[in-house]
Amino acid sequence: MGALKARGATPARRAALQRQHRAIIDALRQRDRAAARGAMRAHILYVQRYMFEEEEG
Protein backbone atom coordinates (compact mmCIF):
# COMPACT_ATOMS: atom_id res chain seq x y z
CA MET A 1 0.00 0.00 0.00
CA GLY A 2 1.30 3.44 -0.88
CA ALA A 3 2.10 6.00 1.81
CA LEU A 4 -0.76 8.34 0.85
CA LYS A 5 -3.32 5.55 0.81
CA ALA A 6 -2.00 4.22 4.11
CA ARG A 7 -2.84 7.54 5.78
CA GLY A 8 -6.49 6.87 5.09
CA ALA A 9 -6.38 3.28 6.25
CA THR A 10 -6.94 3.89 9.95
CA PRO A 11 -10.25 2.64 11.37
CA ALA A 12 -11.25 6.15 12.44
CA ARG A 13 -10.53 7.65 9.03
CA ARG A 14 -12.30 4.81 7.20
CA ALA A 15 -15.37 5.36 9.38
CA ALA A 16 -15.26 9.11 8.71
CA LEU A 17 -14.93 8.51 4.97
CA GLN A 18 -17.88 6.13 4.99
CA ARG A 19 -20.02 8.70 6.85
CA GLN A 20 -19.02 11.37 4.36
CA HIS A 21 -19.80 9.16 1.38
CA ARG A 22 -23.21 8.31 2.86
CA ALA A 23 -23.95 12.02 3.35
CA ILE A 24 -23.05 12.73 -0.30
CA ILE A 25 -25.23 9.87 -1.56
CA ASP A 26 -28.14 10.86 0.66
CA ALA A 27 -28.02 14.45 -0.60
CA LEU A 28 -27.85 13.28 -4.21
CA ARG A 29 -30.77 10.92 -3.74
CA GLN A 30 -32.78 13.77 -2.22
CA ARG A 31 -31.73 15.97 -5.15
CA ASP A 32 -30.51 18.54 -2.62
CA ARG A 33 -27.90 20.45 -4.58
CA ALA A 34 -26.72 22.61 -1.67
CA ALA A 35 -26.36 19.66 0.71
CA ALA A 36 -24.54 17.59 -1.93
CA ARG A 37 -22.18 20.43 -2.71
CA GLY A 38 -21.46 21.02 0.97
CA ALA A 39 -20.92 17.33 1.69
CA MET A 40 -18.59 16.92 -1.29
CA ARG A 41 -16.61 20.03 -0.39
CA ALA A 42 -16.24 18.92 3.23
CA HIS A 43 -15.13 15.47 2.06
CA ILE A 44 -12.54 16.82 -0.36
CA LEU A 45 -11.11 19.17 2.25
CA TYR A 46 -10.97 16.35 4.82
CA VAL A 47 -9.09 14.07 2.41
CA GLN A 48 -6.78 16.89 1.37
CA ARG A 49 -5.90 17.64 5.01
CA TYR A 50 -4.95 14.10 5.96
CA MET A 51 -3.23 13.22 2.70
CA PHE A 52 -0.96 16.24 2.64
CA GLU A 53 -0.39 16.92 6.32
CA GLU A 54 3.11 16.85 7.73
CA GLU A 55 4.35 13.48 8.88
CA GLU A 56 4.16 13.09 12.63
CA GLY A 57 7.16 11.74 14.20
Question: Phi and psi of 51, rounded to 5°?
Answer: -75, -30
pLDDT in tens, 40-51: 999 999 998 888
Percent of the chain predicted with pLDDT > 70: 84
- Cβ atoms within 10 Å of 9's Cβ, excluding its own: 9
Q: Kindly list the distances between the CA atom of residue 10 and the CA atoms of 4, 5, 14, 42, in Å, as whole numbers in the listed order.
A: 12, 10, 6, 19
pTM > 0.75: yes or no: yes
As a whole number of angstroms, the distance between CA 44 and CA 41 comes to 5
1: confidence class by pLDDT, cuts 50, 70, 90? low
Predicted pLDDT of residue 24:
98
